[in-house]
Amino acid sequence: MNCIPTPLADCYEIIPKLHTDARGYFFEAFNKASFLAATGIDFEVVQENQSKSVKGTIRALHFQRGDAAQAKLVRVLSGEILDVVVDIRPASATFGQTHSLVLSSGNLKQLYIPKGFAHGFSVLSESATIVYACDAPYNKAAEGGIYYADPALGIDWKVGPQRPVLSEKDVALPLLKDALL
């Protein structure tokens, strides 16, 4: 696997090494030893989640607070998404900065998201199935989030002129300046 640093500290784009032949392809989706050697990060999966969403859906900028913070490894099984992260670590040189990239079943890229980041995505294809491995279990009492259209972040979710499909919870999330209080 090739681990490429993003502009945000400790966040990596991961491009797998494909083995192809007449049957199709094979790749290691994750190898702890290889990831550690490439990044210096000891990421251990304790929970894996999967979601499916329709075109125009935005699942916006969620995170876990404090000791429940999660690092994630995100990939797409079918379809295409715009994956978006925000560094919400107050002491970080990249605090409040965003990064996005297209993840798809076609490009097979993954995104490693460290603890202290908010994460969301928009669905660019007719539907998309996403898997994300986490290094800590979900804790409802520690959940937090940031409003997807926070003007301070200026994220272009690439959903076009259509009204995005959002959960009631995501519509009610606070702006970044209020989310970490």
Percent of the chain scoring above 70 in pLDDT: 99
119 within 8 A of 59, measured Cβ to Cβ: no
pLDDT of residue 21: 92
pLDDT of residue 93: 95
Q: How far apart are CA 101 and CA 85, in angstroms?
A: 9
Average pLDDT over residues 106-126: 97
Q: In what order do the strands lie in the sheet with 127-134?
A: 2-5, 12-15, 110-113, 72-78, 127-134, 47-54
pLDDT of residue 120: 98
pLDDT confidence band for 37 (50 / 70 / 90): very high
Q: Could you list the active site residues?
A: 62, 132
The answer to whether residue 133 scores a pLDDT higher than 80 is: yes
DSSP code of residue 175: P
pLDDT tens digits along 25-35:
999 999 999 99
3-class SS at 88? Answer: coil
The answer to whether residue 1 scores a pLDDT higher than 90 is: no
What is 2-179's CATH number, 2.60.120.10, 1.10.150.120, 2.40.30.30, 3.40.50.720?
Answer: 2.60.120.10
Q: Position of tokens 């999660």?
A: 70
pLDDT of residue 80: 98
pLDDT tens digits along 55-97:
999 998 999 999 999 999 999 999 999 999 999 999 999 999 9
The answer to whether residue 181 scores a pLDDT higher than 70 is: no
- For the chain, the domains span 2-179
pLDDT of residue 160: 87
116 within 8 A of 35, measured Cβ to Cβ: no
